[in-house]
Structure 1
Amino acid sequence: MIRTRWPAASVKQFAQPNAAEVAKMEQFINQTLWGSVQNFDGTVKKSVYFYQPDLVPDYDYPSSINWGNWWSWNQAASYATDRAYDYVHVIAAYWSLYRVARNYPDLVKTHTWEWVGYADDGLMEETVIRYLLDDLQREGLTANATLVESRMRARENVWAGERYP
């Protein structure tokens, strides 16, 4: 449940932007998303939260949580970049602020609409990626649109060759 809050908060901004909320989203993207959730090489971690008390002895893990569950990942499992679902969340956050910056430039303070350039992975023909592609084409960013389309086709070709894609 926690992982769905920040994508929802960011997507809400392109439909109903609020200056104070946009400022918080810009701060989140610059201080948490880029360089923490998303690595500098563009890969995306499953989580930045992990359960490994020996690595953070001064952190007080909540005792109300059952840390024996499947989602109680250690640091290596949390920092793994092998789950495509996570990429869509990052793309949605960047795309949403692109839309705010494009349509309400006075609301953004950190980056212009041209700054957003993340379009590496996703899952199938994810709706947000389709919207991103539409906007790239509308902006005349042909090279970027071609890159997104080629990566989508590459994934489709891999899945078409799998017995159970």
Structure 2
Amino acid sequence: MGDDVDFGIATRTPDASLAELLGPALLATVDAVESHHEEEFPDRVRGRVTAVHPATFEVWERRSLRRPGHGAPANAVMPADGEEWPLVGRDLGGGVFADSRPARYVIDIVPLPGTVTLEPTRGVRLPSAGRSLPTVDNRIGEPPAERKARVQAGWLVDVEDR
């Protein structure tokens, strides 16, 4: 808190999906939606940060086996039981080759409207270089059951105009 900020604003009118996710009470506190994707912004908010609120919400995660036409190209050949999807790669030149293999499961995520909460925090922490990436469970068998999870939607930042 207390930092001076200069946010590029994408819009002052949140879209319908954000309005549904936040609900009317929280939406009423949003004066602008910041963006990192444009090079030039039609609007800006400049001032001093007085509060930061990580906003989280609940989702249903449903896992299903990846199959042709569902998370894989329709003309893909389903690998035999016990085998992985084929490696997909690209030669980047200079002896560098990037490759990946699709996970065995596709995860459908459905937001649950009206579940947004503001979490307590003392400030924004950027991801640490020491953190490991989540692992994917590629074990053969039945897809894991549906589960409810809480994920971060973004940040609500209170800014005192200067």
TM superposition score normalised by structure 1: 0.22
TM superposition score normalised by structure 2: 0.22
Query: Which structure's CA Rg is the greater one?
Result: 2
More strand by share: 2
